[in-house]
């Protein structure tokens, strides 16, 4: 009962933003913050303070308990999510509270920029949220603090770019695109890696270009078409290219977009989408390339460089002997080898003798590796 009373006092201190009352609660019950942290989904004091715009109290709480910054409440929202949602609910007259919440959010991300990347319900991050709502000032601030957050995806494989385009937030898209152009060198990306991000597909296989065309956002379409190496003919899960979508749009915007795509060299889908099946892959015959690659990989992990070199020599000997067998006439005798009955030794035996001789002289190849590189196995590579 006493602990419950302390928790109630902590709630009142949080709503008032009184740090002195917070420490009074801690003095009476030192494990008060621990007890809250043990609950998997809960509105922490940080949730409440951030959404009330109590910047100093919020900073004191996150300093004492950094884990609260990544804690989800029962609605799947982080403290930043809740603060952003509260801002959205405010009326235009609540300018003071809006300003205090904005300041609190800024102070929190200055304390820990990774808060921008914490995933809440449906894997939405605070960056996704501001992109959806078109809060370009906060969007720019988030990107400046944590540019890597532009790569984060929701459970629908949407980046902030996808979300901005889907919600027709032209300015938010421009901020994100401008950020992408500038951070390539900061993040050590090559030029084509930035375009790869622009070509990412959501769970329906739609790229940014697909989405912009289907929603008749001419400016965004033209901006994307200016990007170098952008795949203009990518197909979604329905097998449609951006031009396929534009063709069925009879509006003026649709015709303008179609002209822009034609001018950029975009094309229609030439064939229906081909289903990719892992089952078909495993049912197919193993190729020689697959076999050699796999064997080299597994042997390379365990063997020394000296042993690998010896195996390479053996492989060359096997290949040489195999070609000699092809070129030799039937019944040909390999010089210097034969059994007790003076019968010619087969080319296959000659190969094995060569391998064992190499092993005996150099002691580089273990016996089990000799067996693995036998002529019999060489003949089975296409199986």
Token couple for 297:
């990989």
- Chain segment 41-52, per-residue pLDDT in tens: 999 999 999 999
Distance from the Cα of residue 88 to its chain's centroid? 30
Q: Rounded mean pLDDT of 247-265?
A: 92
Q: How far apart are CA 99 and CA 106, in angstroms?
A: 11
Lowest mean pLDDT among 120-129, 215-224, 300-309: 300-309
364 or 61, which is more confident?
61
Cα separation, 142 vs 105, whole angstroms: 10
The residue that leads in pLDDT, 301 or 100, is 100
Dihedral angle sign, alpha carbons of residues 227, 231, 236, 242? positive
CA 61 to chain centre: 32
Most confident of 155-164, 242-251, 357-366: 155-164
What is the DSSP secondary-structure string of 252-320?
HHHHHHHHHHHHTT-----SPPPPP-HHHHHHSPPPHHHHHHHHHHHHHHHS-HHHHHHHHHHHHHHHH
Phi, psi of 71 (to 5 degrees): -80, 135
- 23-32: per-residue pLDDT in tens? 999 999 999 9
Residue 154 in this model has a pLDDT that exceeds 60:
yes
Determine the Cα–Cα distance for residues 189 and 247; give it in Å rounded to an integer. Answer: 35
Q: At residue 161, does pLDDT exceed 70?
A: yes
- Whether pTM > 0.85 for this model: the answer is no
Query: What's the length of the chain?
Result: 383
DSSP 341-358: T-PBPPHHHHHHHHHHHH
Backbone dihedral angles phi then psi of residue 338, each to the nearest 5 degrees: 180, 165
Structure tokens at 286: 């193993």
| CA pair distance 318, 350, nearest whole angstrom | 10
Query: Helix, strand, coil shares of the chain as percentages rounded to 5?
Result: 65, 0, 35
Give the whole-angstrom CA distance, residue 280 versus residue 351: 37
Of the listed ranges 72-76, 252-256, 326-330, the one predicted with least confidence: 326-330
pLDDT at 186: 58
| 293 has pLDDT over 70 | no
Q: Which residues contact 316 (CB under 8 A, 6 or more apart)?
A: none
């Amino acid at each position: 009962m006493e602990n419950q009373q302390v928790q109630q006092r902590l709630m009142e201190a949080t709503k008032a933003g009184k740090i002195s009352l917070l420490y009074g609660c801690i003095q009476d019950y030192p494990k008060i913050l621990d007890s809250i942290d043990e609950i998997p989904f809960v509105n922490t004091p940080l949730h409440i303070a951030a959404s009330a715009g109590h910047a100093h109290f919020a900073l004191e709480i996150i300093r004492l308990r950094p884990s609260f910054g990544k804690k989800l409440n029962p609605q799947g929202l982080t403290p930043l999510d809740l603060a952003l949602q509260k801002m959205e609910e405010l009326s235009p007259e609540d300018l003071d509270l809006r300003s205090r919440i904005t300041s609190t959010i800024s102070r929190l991300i200055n304390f820990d920029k990774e808060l921008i990347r914490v995933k809440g319900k449906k894997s939405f991050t605070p960056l996704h949220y501001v992109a959806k709502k078109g809060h370009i000032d906060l969007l720019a601030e988030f990107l400046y603090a944590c540019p890597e957050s532009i790569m984060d995806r929701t459970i629908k494989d949407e980046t902030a770019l996808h979300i901005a385009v889907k919600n027709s937030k032209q300015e938010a898209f421009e901020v994100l695109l401008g950020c992408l152009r500038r951070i390539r060198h900061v993040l050590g990306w090559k030029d084509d890696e930035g375009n790869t991000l622009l070509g990412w597909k959501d769970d329906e296989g739609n790229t940014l270009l697909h989405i912009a065309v289907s929603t008749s956002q001419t400016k965004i379409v033209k901006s994307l078409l200016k990007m170098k190496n952008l795949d203009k003919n990518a197909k979604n899960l329905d097998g449609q290219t951006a031009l396929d979508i534009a063709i069925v749009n009879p509006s003026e915007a649709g015709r303008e977009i179609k002209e822009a795509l034609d001018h950029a060299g975009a094309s229609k889908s030439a064939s229906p989408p081909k289903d990719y099946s892992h089952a078909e892959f495993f049912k197919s015959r193993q190729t020689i390339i697959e076999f050699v690659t796999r064997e080299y990989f597994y042997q390379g992990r365990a063997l020394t460089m000296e042993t690998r070199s010896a195996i390479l020599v053996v492989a060359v000997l096997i290949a040489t002997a195999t070609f000699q067998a092809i070129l030799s006439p039937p019944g040909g005798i390999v010089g210097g080898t034969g059994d007790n009955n003076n019968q010619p030794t087969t080319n296959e035996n000659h190969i094995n003798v060569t391998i064992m001789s190499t092993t005996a002289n150099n002691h580089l190849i273990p016996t089990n590796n000799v067996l693995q590189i036998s002529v019999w196995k060489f003949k089975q590579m296409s199986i």
